[in-house]
Amino acid sequence: MTTKYPTTMSCTEAFDQLSACYSVGGQFRNYYRYGDFNACTEQLEKFKFCILHGTDPVEIQKWHQKRAERNAKRCGSSEDIWQERSSS
């Protein structure tokens, strides 16, 4: 079975992303870009998931799929902008 979602997850990488988010530089970058501090919830969720399910390829694929769907709903795509521009 082939899929477009990864079947592996590195807990070390998840921890590094979490610690980078909580670092002074990570918080400063987020404050500069968005005007507030980052609670690092996405990185914390990923690290917790990895600790619990980091060796189960099926669960990892489901997690990546849910995250991609959530990001698509939240962020949209560049096509959304072009549709808005063409309708104006």
pLDDT computed for residue 1 by the predictor: 47
pTM of the predicted protein model: 0.73
Mutual angle of helices 24-34 and 11-22, in 10-degree steps: 70
pLDDT at 74: 73
Take residue 34 and report the two structure tokens written for it.
Answer: 């968005």
CA–CA–CA angle 1, 65, 8 (5° rounding): 60
Amino acid (one-letter) located at 47: F
Residue 76: its pLDDT value, please?
56
pLDDT, mean of each 10-residue run, the chain (88 residues): 80 96 94 90 95 93 90 67 61
Contacts of 40 (CB under 8 A, 6+ apart): 18, 21, 22, 26
